[in-house]
């Protein structure tokens, strides 16, 4: 099992490599969710303003 | 009095040239910048001429790229500012003719000027005179291609805040093949190897860009003006 | 068949379809990536030349393929938006740009980490990494241009034109960099695609590639919903759509 973690001695490259890849994937999910939530809030606000301005 | 496309082209080129020469200092600025930037490299590296020769093609080309970029901003800007651009667009000659005329005129006063100054700069960097023919030819094609890439970028960024930074950001990545082939051609001329391959690729790039870029630049102007 | 095409041009349809598709795409992506990682890290034998370090291929190559694929999708969506004036195209392009840029960054960093044990240096001006770097600049250019305009519609169109111009350049840039590189280096290009890769090495790679593609689709679905909302704020269907 420790063979697996040491990756033939290359562990200090292999694991940060996969780690960074994972970070990028997670960032994508987080960022996309945040973007959608912000868009929904802005849309709700725009609708509310339009409704309050209606005669 | 209706004016044909050819006449419109020449009229606009003529106008651009006259406007440019009304302010000669503006014409000199990119050239001086070219000289200054090339001076920075030996100062920063403190190399003898024989060693400078190795990096000379790259330095020359990077300096030419940056100098050209400086003046591209002005390609459409002043006409856009005072409304002339819209009038030209409405004139019925089609934006493409106008774009071709303006870009050709721009190259004549900027790119061509750089080409003519390049022997001086080349000598300062240790490029041997045998390599000058290739250097001049590659710079001529390269600056023309760059003027076209710049026309697209300028068309997209007219009137934007910090438009010139954005312009450089857009144009420079697109210009990397130019840099590669142009500097390689000059380098091969210096070392005596065959320049034909590099020059052919550069020429291909030039022809490709000159053919398609006018339409892209016209489209860019249409987006900005509408 | 044309009804399908028309549906794709309709913002509320795209919004709803994206919302529905996303969880499935995420699930499929997770499965493909999980298999790819387990098989790639645990089952595939070490490489003859590179030992265990070759395993970095399982993130580097898929991200490289995605970085170019996403740019192409962005360019196609942009072209559709410009030619047929379909605003959803702009939404897809705007949504794709940051995803593609992140994959490009992933390619560069994983490539750098892979390069260190293989070439002894964190950076080398080899054709693929150099092209990727220029691709990153192209992405940044498109995103910067879009955000520089006060009128979002105009920004969309300008960024779309730039994306189309850029996509023409991607093969040119790659070719010129390969040519340039061949002048200066011999065969320092490390590829595992040289001798035929045995199946146990290849399948996890294909699975990771598929997983990354599905992941892109999933994230695109989330982002495109937001982009469509931003462009259609005043429309009537929005009121119902954001109740979720």
Kindly report, residue by residue over C106-134, the tens digit of the pLDDT.
999 999 998 888 888 888 787 778 889 99
* Domains of chain B, residue spans: 5-225
Total domain count for chain A? 1
Do C163 and C75 meet the contact criterion of CB atoms below 8 Å apart?
Answer: yes
Nearest CA in chain B to C141: B170
Report whether pLDDT(C39) > 50.
Answer: yes
What's the pLDDT score for residue C192?
46
Contact between C233 and A46 using a beta-carbon 8 Å cutoff: yes
Highest mean pLDDT among A44-48, B16-20, C129-133, C219-223: C219-223
Q: How confident is the model at residue A55 (pLDDT cuts 50, 70, 90)?
A: low
Residue B127: which of B65, B188, B190 has the closest Cα? B190
Tokens describing residue C106: 């992933």
In angstroms, what separates the C-alpha of C137 from chain B's closest C-alpha? 6
Do C127 and C177 meet the contact criterion of CB atoms below 8 Å apart?
Answer: yes
Chains B and C are in contact, defined as 3 or more C-beta pairs closer than 8 angstroms:
yes
Contact between C242 and A31 using a beta-carbon 8 Å cutoff: no
Q: Report the alpha-carbon distance of residue B182 to residue B58 in Å, rounded.
A: 9
Tokens describing residue C121: 């240096």
Residues in A whose CB is inside 8 Å of some CB of C read 4, 7-10, 13-14, 16-18, 20-21, 24-25, 27-29, 31-33, 35-36, 38-40, 42-44, 46-47, 50
High-pLDDT (> 70) share of chain A, %: 95
Residue A52 lies in a domain: yes
Contact between C102 and A42 using a beta-carbon 8 Å cutoff: no
Contact between C154 and B223 using a beta-carbon 8 Å cutoff: yes
Q: Report the alpha-carbon distance of residue C179 to residue C131 in Å, rounded.
A: 12
3-state secondary structure C139-201: HHHHHHHHHHCCCHHHHHHHHHHHHHHHHHHHHHHHHHHHHHHHHHCCCCCCCCCCCCCCHHH
Cβ-Cβ contacts under 8 Å between A and C: the total is 98
Do C112 and C132 meet the contact criterion of CB atoms below 8 Å apart?
Answer: no
Residue A2 lies in a domain: no
Cβ-Cβ contacts under 8 Å between B and C: the total is 70
Residue B175: which of B83, B72, B104 has the closest Cα? B72
Residue with tokens 């990771």: C208
Helices B196-225 and C152-184 cross at an angle (nearest 10°) of: 170
Report whether pLDDT(C8) > 60.
Answer: yes
> Which residues face C51 on adjacent strands?
C47
Report yes or no: C59 at the A interface, CB cutoff 8 Å: yes
Contact between C222 and A21 using a beta-carbon 8 Å cutoff: no
Chains B and A are in contact, defined as 3 or more C-beta pairs closer than 8 angstroms:
no
Task: Please report the residues numbered 162 through 191 in chain B whose beta carbons come closer than 8 angstroms to any beta carbon of chain C.
Answer: 162-163, 166, 169-170, 172-174, 176-177, 180-181, 184
Q: Report the alpha-carbon distance of residue B184 to residue C125 in Å, rounded.
A: 16
Residue A18 lies in a domain: no
Report whether pLDDT(C186) > 70.
Answer: no
Residue range(s) defining the domain that contains residue A49: 23-55
Segment C143-159 mean pLDDT: 94
Site from C144, C147, C148, C165 to mutate, B interface, most B CB atoms within 10 angstroms: C165
ipTM of the complex: 0.90
Q: Report the alpha-carbon distance of residue B30 to residue B36 in Å, rounded.
A: 10
Residue A17 lies in a domain: no
A5 or C93: whose pLDDT is higher? Answer: C93
> Which residues face C18 on adjacent strands?
none
Residues in C whose CB is inside 8 Å of some CB of B read 82, 134, 137-138, 140-141, 144-145, 148-149, 154, 157-158, 161-162, 164-166, 168-169, 172-173, 175-177, 179-180, 183
Going through A1-55 in order, the beta strands assigned E by DSSP cover none
- Phi, psi torsion values for C150, nearest 5 degrees: -75, -35
Domains of chain C, with CATH numbers? Answer: 14-241 (1.20.120)
Segment C166-187 mean pLDDT: 77
In angstroms, what separates the C-alpha of A9 from chain C's closest C-alpha? 8
Task: Please report the residues numbered 68 through 107 in chain C whose beta carbons come closer than 8 angstroms to any beta carbon of chain A.
Answer: 98-99, 102-103, 105-106
Report whether pLDDT(C26) > 90.
Answer: yes
Report whether pLDDT(C93) > 50.
Answer: yes
Under 8 Å CB-to-CB from A8, ≥6 apart: which residues? C46, C51, C52, C53
Task: Please report the residues numbered 33 through 52 in chain C whose beta carbons come closer than 8 angstroms to any beta carbon of chain A.
Answer: 37, 41-42, 46, 51-52
- Kindly list the distances between the CA atom of residue B13 and the CA atoms of B19, B70, B136, B170, C227, in Å, as whole numbers in the listed order: 10, 20, 23, 26, 43
Segment C79-87 mean pLDDT: 94
Residue A1 lies in a domain: no
Per-residue pLDDT of chain B (226 residues; tens, 9 = 90+): 567 888 889 999 999 899 888 888 888 888 999 999 988 888 888 777 777 888 899 999 999 999 998 888 888 888 887 888 888 888 777 889 999 999 999 999 999 999 999 999 999 888 999 999 999 999 999 999 999 999 999 999 988 888 889 999 999 999 999 999 999 999 999 988 888 989 999 999 999 999 999 999 999 999 988 7
Q: How confident is the model at residue C199 (pLDDT cuts 50, 70, 90)?
A: confident
Do B152 and B220 meet the contact criterion of CB atoms below 8 Å apart?
Answer: yes
Instruction: Classify the phi-psi angles of C235: left when phi > 0, otherwise alpha if psi is within -120 to 50, otherwise beta.
Output: beta
Under 8 Å CB-to-CB from B118, ≥6 apart: which residues? B60, B64, B135, B136, B139
Do B184 and B198 meet the contact criterion of CB atoms below 8 Å apart?
Answer: yes
Segment A10-15 mean pLDDT: 87
């Amino acid at each position: 099992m420790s063979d697996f973690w040491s990756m033939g001695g290359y562990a200090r490259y292999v694991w940060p490599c996969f780690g960074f890849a994972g970070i990028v994937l997670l960032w994508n999910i987080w960022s996309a969710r945040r973007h959608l939530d912000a868009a929904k809030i802005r849309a709700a606000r725009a609708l509310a303003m339009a409704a309050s301005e209606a005669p | 009095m209706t004016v044909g496309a050819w006449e419109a082209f020449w009229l606009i080129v003529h106008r651009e040239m006259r406007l440019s020469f009304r302010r000669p200092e503006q014409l000199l600025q990119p050239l001086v910048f070219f000289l200054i930037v090339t001076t920075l490299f030996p100062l920063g590296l403190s190399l003898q001429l024989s060693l400078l020769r190795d990096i000379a093609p790259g330095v020359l080309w990077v300096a030419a790229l940056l100098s050209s970029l400086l003046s591209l901003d002005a390609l459409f800007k002043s006409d856009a500012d005072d409304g002339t651009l819209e009038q030209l667009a409405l004139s019925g000659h089609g934006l493409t003719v106008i774009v071709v005329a303006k870009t050709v005129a721009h190259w004549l006063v900027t790119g061509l000027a750089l080409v003519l100054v390049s022997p001086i700069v080349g000598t300062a960097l240790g490029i041997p005179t045998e390599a000058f023919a290739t250097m001049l030819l590659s710079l001529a094609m390269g600056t023309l291609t760059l003027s076209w890439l710049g026309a697209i970028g300028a068309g997209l960024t007219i009137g934007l805040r910090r438009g010139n930074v954005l312009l450089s950001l857009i144009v420079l990545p697109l210009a990397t093949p130019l840099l590669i082939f142009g500097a390689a051609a000059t380098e091969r001329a210096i070392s005596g190897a065959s320049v034909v391959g590099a020059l052919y690729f550069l020429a291909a790039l030039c022809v490709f860009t000159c053919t398609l870029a006018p339409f892209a630049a016209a489209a860019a102007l249409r987006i900005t003006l509408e | 068949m044309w009804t399908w095409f028309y549906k794709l041009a309709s913002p509320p349809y795209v919004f709803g379809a994206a919302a529905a598709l996303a969880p499935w795409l995420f699930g499929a992506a997770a499965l493909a990536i999980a298999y790819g990682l387990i098989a790639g890290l645990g089952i595939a034998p070490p490489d003859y030349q590179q030992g265990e370090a070759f395993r970095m291929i399982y993130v580097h190559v898929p991200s490289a393929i995605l970085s170019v694929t996403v740019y192409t999708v962005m360019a196609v969506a942009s072209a559709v938006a410009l030619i047929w004036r379909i605003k959803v195209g702009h939404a897809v392009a705007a949504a794709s740009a940051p995803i593609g840029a992140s994959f490009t960054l992933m390619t560069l960093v994983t490539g750098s980490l892979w390069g260190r044990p293989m070439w002894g240096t964190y950076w080398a001006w080899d054709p693929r990494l150099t092209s990727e770097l220029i691709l990153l600049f192209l992405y940044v250019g498109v995103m910067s241009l879009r955000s520089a305009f006060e009128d979002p519609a105009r920004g969309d169109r300008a960024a779309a034109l730039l994306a189309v111009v850029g996509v023409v350049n991607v093969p040119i840039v790659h070719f010129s960099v390969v040519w340039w590189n061949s002048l200066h280096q011999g065969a320092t290009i490390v590829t595992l695609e040289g001798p035929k890769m045995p199946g146990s090495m290849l399948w996890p790679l294909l699975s990771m590639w598929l997983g990354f593609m599905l992941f892109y689709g999933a994230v695109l679905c989330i982002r495109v919903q937001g982009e469509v909302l931003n462009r259609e704020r005043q429309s009537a269907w929005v009121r119902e759509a954001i109740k979720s």
